[in-house]
Structure 1
């Protein structure tokens, strides 16, 4: 492909986990410097992630992001003052379908995000401690998810059985078609969100908010939930450790998140150092 000239990119929308963040969830000094240089060059920068907005604040402050950011894969776009620019909940019927499917399988940890809380039925999941560290806050144990059904932002099936998650993803595509969507934000996570919760739509919404044409936007990510913004951005950049399918949908590939791939992408393809 012909990579757009540095001066043509006016807005970069980046994923967080596996992209800007290293495996230990830290941000490297080089990445912080690259984002600072990007903003000093007049290029707008924001975040789109599967995380809840509550779990983005530390990174927003560290990166100096002063624009609306997209959580829940674009289901919630939040202004810097906390007001919602966009908010979409999972339809009740789709939520019930996903919960019945996940809770019937002992290999699956079922997590629900609603009312600014991370909700669990029990605390004995193997992946829960790692996610608690990543999100920066503790889950709330509930007897039932029923009362939260009208207000669910995201449902997650978490498991080390990646093949099982792939099968569940395909099954949900069929059973919730036209109601909600299921996507793999990471190999061990299957996210169920509103049909409108789409990073591609988030990119379009934020570009319109900024007055930037889509052909002058760039998207950076590593997961299946990033493909939607790859298809809309003027320049799409996949991380080096991304699955082959995700790499195949990107215009260019950078280094992994262990190799400062996000900083490399900003320097090479946007700042053109």
Structure 2
């Protein structure tokens, strides 16, 4: 029996207008009323999903969120941390050197803000176009204190430039970090122990919920780990082919209320 439903946001829960349809709202609230835990599982920070948590009634005591692609597992009401995996200052320096070599902009993020070290000339970051929840702060890598920890680093630039850069990333970076796309123009670099599947594992251990009692829904490469981890992995109709191949079920697209359709099919019916 499914006890927990973990749902990606962009391209999954949210439609093309970055909204949750009334049908999907109704279905999620109905599932929660049946005692099923509804968990938003996203690359965004908690502040970046607050409006959606409030809309869905997911800020009660006993509600949880998985943010930063699994790097942070939190109580949705208080923000208190259950599990956290971070990047050290030395790791950030290494990633920044890589960004300079690849000629792409880098940002890094903690719980409170987005940091903007100098970008390559003529290659500004696009991250401010999609990140509205946290303030942006100019900095230099020399000013980062030794004790500093970041939740993730990102390269956010035109997709064609990003894809060319990804092809040039040395193998040892993939061995040292979790590197994944969460949008076509956004590459995320995280602690090696971070992915949405590991975030679910940490929350499941905390709650006493087994993988086979979980349902997950997603559309992009950063959702692959949680699709594989859960007993019932569902790919959106608009998902990448790799995700569809790994999923137990392919639902309708995010424009067609695919989340609601899958939950109605497997839970409410």
Q: How does 1:162-241 map to 2 (within 5 A)?
A: 162=160, 164-166=161-163, 168-169=165-166, 172=169, 174-241=171-238
- The alpha carbon displacement at 1:129 in A equals 4.4
- Cα distance, 1:121–1:239 mapped onto 2, change above 3 Å: same
| TM-score normalised over the length of structure 1 | 0.86
- Cα distance, 1:170–1:58 mapped onto 2, change above 3 Å: same
- The alpha carbon displacement at 1:270 in A equals 2.3
- The alpha carbon displacement at 1:105 in A equals 4.1
Residue aligning to 1:267 = 264
- The alpha carbon displacement at 1:268 in A equals 1.6
CA contact (8 A) 2:125 2:155 kept: no
Q: How does 1:89-128 map to 2 (within 5 A)?
A: 89-106=86-103, 108-121=104-117, 125=124, 127-128=126-127
- The alpha carbon displacement at 1:181 in A equals 1.0
Q: Segments of 4+ in structure 1 off by > 6 A?
A: none
Residue aligning to 1:130 = 129
CA contact (8 A) 1:21 1:27 kept: yes
- The alpha carbon displacement at 1:70 in A equals 1.0
- Cα distance, 1:86–1:196 mapped onto 2, change above 3 Å: same
- The alpha carbon displacement at 1:26 in A equals 1.6
RMSD between superposed Cα atoms in Å: 2.3
| TM-score normalised over the length of structure 2 | 0.87
* Whole-angstrom distance in 1 between the partners of 2:52 and 2:214: 21
* Whole-angstrom distance in 2 between the partners of 1:54 and 1:98: 25
Residue aligning to 2:3 = 10
Residue aligning to 2:35 = 42
| SS at 1:229 equivalent | helix
Residue aligning to 1:160 = 158
Counterpart check, 1:33 vs 2:30? no
* Whole-angstrom distance in 2 between the partners of 1:86 and 1:227: 20
- The alpha carbon displacement at 1:84 in A equals 0.8
Give ranges in structure 2 of 5+ residues lacking alignment.
none
Structure 1 residues 52-106: Cα deviation after superposition (integer angstroms, max 9, x where no partner):
2221211111112242211111111111322111111114443222211223444
**Higher deviation after alignment, 76-85 or 108-117:** 108-117
* Whole-angstrom distance in 1 between the partners of 2:245 and 2:145: 38
- Cα distance, 1:103–1:23 mapped onto 2, change above 3 Å: farther
- Cα distance, 1:29–1:172 mapped onto 2, change above 3 Å: same
Structure 1 residues 157-180: Cα deviation after superposition (integer angstroms, max 9, x where no partner):
112224x53454465572234532
Residue aligning to 1:5 = none
CA contact (8 A) 1:90 1:180 kept: no
| SS at 2:266 equivalent | helix
Counterpart check, 1:82 vs 2:82? no
- Cα distance, 1:148–1:156 mapped onto 2, change above 3 Å: farther
Q: Choose from 13, 16, 19 the match for 1:20.
A: 13
